[in-house]
């Protein structure tokens, strides 16, 4: 089964500095049919005005991945971490036993990003933060692994999350085809950052989300130049 939620069908929140679309129930948006997928609980599509952002606030026991689509975001936390994550890169924050952080668009232009929350495999992990480059410029024939907690990826040089899940990314040229397999009863959630693709023949438009359940193999075909993220989930 492949079920697509178009951008206009997502939850929506807007104030003077934030324009957010929610793939799953979040904040004041509550949809009993969209409470998450496996351990994936949040996928927010955020547009943040210049010189604004999320003030200092706290989290615990959540793996939070931020993929910057345009602009940049500056992170600060109570552990002493500070870093600027530019477009095309991701940051990974394991909130663990507790972390207080801010995410601020210190740029003179709009920042657009995806914010992804995944439940950890248990409570009480040490809090942690790091960043990784999304190698858009590389000539890749497959999906690029961006973060993982799967046992088979333990030896790879990718940020670790505390869950049996993986996040992949890919930049595809028009007509390019990528394949991905799901073992056992694993599921997937695919979002297009830009462009349009098909997944086993089902069209997924720009910034839409596709829930993938019961498919052992998927074929991702770019209708035009496109960029995608794919979460592989237990």
The residues near 57 (Cβ < 8 Å, ≥ 6 apart) are: 100, 101, 102
First to last CA, the chain: 16
Number of domains into which the chain is organized = 1
Task: Round to whole Å and give the CA distance between 94 and 128.
Answer: 5
What is the model's pTM? 0.95
Pick from 8, 31, 12, 34: which is nearest to 22 by CA? 12
Give per-residue burial for 49-83: e unless 16+ CB within 10 Å, then b: beebbbeeeebebbbbbbbbbbbbbbbbbeeebee
Strands 187-194 and 177-181: unpaired
Pick from 47, 24, 26, 69: which is nearest to 211 by CA? 24
Q: Range of 136's domain?
A: 2-233
For residue 174, the domain's CATH number is: 2.60.120.10
Task: Round to whole Å and give the CA distance between 4 and 180.
Answer: 18
Block means of pLDDT (10 residues each) for the chain, 234 residues, are 97 97 96 96 98 97 97 96 93 96 97 98 96 65 88 88 96 94 94 97 98 97 96 98
**What pLDDT does 135 receive?**
61
């Amino acid at each position: 089964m492949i079920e697509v939620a178009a951008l206009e069908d997502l939850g929506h929140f807007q104030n003077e500095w934030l324009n957010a679309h929610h793939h799953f129930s979040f904040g004041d948006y509550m949809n009993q049919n969209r409470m998450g997928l496996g351990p994936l609980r949040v996928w927010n599509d955020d547009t943040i005005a210049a010189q604004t952002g999320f003030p200092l606030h706290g989290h615990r026991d959540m793996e939070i991945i931020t993929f910057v689509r345009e602009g940049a975001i500056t992170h600060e936390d109570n552990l002493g971490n500070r870093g600027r994550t530019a477009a095309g890169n991701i940051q990974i924050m394991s909130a663990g036993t507790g972390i207080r952080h801010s995410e601020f668009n210190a740029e003179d232009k709009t920042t657009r990003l995806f914010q992804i929350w995944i439940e950890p495999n248990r409570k009480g992990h040490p809090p942690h933060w790091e960043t990784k480059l999304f190698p858009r410029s590389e000539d890749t024939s497959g999906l690029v692994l961006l973060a993982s907690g799967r046992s088979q990826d333990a030896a790879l040089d990718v940020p670790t999350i505390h869950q049996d899940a993986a996040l992949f990314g890919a930049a595809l040229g028009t007509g390019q085809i990528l394949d991905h397999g799901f073992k056992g009863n694993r599921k997937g959630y695919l979002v297009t950052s830009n462009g349009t693709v098909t997944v086993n023949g089902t069209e997924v438009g720009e910034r839409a989300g596709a829930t993938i359940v019961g498919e052992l193999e998927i074929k991702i075909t770019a209708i035009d130049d496109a960029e995608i993220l794919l979460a592989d989930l237990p």
